[in-house]
Amino acid sequence: MNGAIKITLAASLLAGLAACGNTTGDDGDMGALGIATQTAGQILAQRRQSEQATAPAKSPQEAAAEALRVNPGPLIQAGFEGLGRTQIMAMTGQNGSMRTFMTPAEEALILRGGMLVGTRGLGHDLSVAEAQTEGMIRAGASGSGTRTMRYFAGDGIERPLQFTCTVGAGAKPGVTVENCEGHGTSFQNSYMVSGGQVAVSRQWIGPNLGYVTIQTLRP
C-alpha cells in the first residue's frame, strides 16, 4: 500500500471518529473533524512538495517535447554556456523580420531569421548586432566583412565594439562558420542554414555572457 493511500485512509478514519465525538465548540476551537482534515491536507501538501523537490530535472529533449505539446506558437531552445543552463523560449513579439523570444522570467533573445540581433534581461546585454556578413552566412558563401556589437555599459551609454570577420565552410558538411577578431579577443560563430533561415547555431553574445546555442523547435 503506497503512502498516498495510507494518508487518505488515515484521514477517513479520523473523520469517522470525529463524527461520533467532538464538534467545533462555541469558543471557536477546532473540533476533531477539522483537525483531522487539516492534518491530512498538510501531510499531502508536504508529500507533494517532497516529491517535486526530489523529482529529476527534465532533460533538454524532455523539456522541448513538453513545450511543443503545450505551446502552439514559434519556439526555440537556447543553451547559455556562460550561465550553465538551457531554456525553452517562446515568441512574444514580432517586428518585421525580427522576432523576440522570451522565458517566463522575461529573459529575451531577439532574432532575425535565426541570427542573433540582441538580448534583454540577461545582464551585460547585447543592445544590437550589425553584421555585414549576414548575407554570406545565409547564402553559404565565403567572404569577409565587419561585425559591430553594441553593448549597454553600467552608465547606460551604448558602446560599440567592431570586429573583422571572415565567413566560410566549416569542418562539418552544411555548417558555415564566421571567425571574428578585434579588441584583443576572438570568437567563432557556427550556423546551419535551411532555406535562408538559420535553424541551428552557436553564436557569441559578448565577453560576459559568452556563447548561446540556438535550435529552432517550431518556426
In whole angstroms, what separates CA 76 from the centre of its chain?
8
What pLDDT sits at residue 60?
77
The answer to whether the pTM exceeds 0.75 is: no
Q: Which of these, 172, 178, 169, lies nearest to 140 by C-alpha position?
A: 169
pLDDT tens digits, 143-161: 999 999 999 887 778 999 9
30/21 Cα distance (integer angstroms): 13
What pLDDT sits at residue 54?
61
Share of the chain above pLDDT 70, in %: 74
Residue 178 CB partners (closer than 8 Å, separation 6+): 131, 133, 137, 147, 165, 166, 167, 188, 189, 190, 191
Burial of 201 (0-12, 13-18, 19+ CB in 10 A): buried
pLDDT tens digits, 73-116: 999 999 999 999 999 999 999 999 999 999 999 999 999 999 99
What pLDDT sits at residue 104?
92
What pLDDT sits at residue 41?
60
Instruction: Determine the average pLDDT of the residues in 180-196.
Output: 97
What pLDDT sits at residue 47?
65
Share of the chain above pLDDT 90, in %: 63
Mean pLDDT, all residues of the chain: 83
Side-by-side strand order, sheet with 210-218: 115-120, 108-112, 98-102, 85-95, 75-80, 210-218, 197-206, 185-194, 175-182, 158-169, 143-152, 126-131
Burial of 124 (0-12, 13-18, 19+ CB in 10 A): middle
165/172 Cα distance (integer angstroms): 20
What pLDDT sits at residue 112?
98
What pLDDT sits at residue 171?
95
What pLDDT sits at residue 62?
86
Instruction: Determine the average pLDDT of the residues in 5-12.
Output: 36
Q: Do 171 and 192 contact (CB within 8 A), yes or no? A: no
What pLDDT sits at residue 216?
97
What pLDDT sits at residue 3?
38
Instruction: Determine the average pLDDT of the residues in 112-141.
Output: 96
pLDDT tens digits, 21-54: 444 444 444 455 444 445 556 665 666 666 655 6
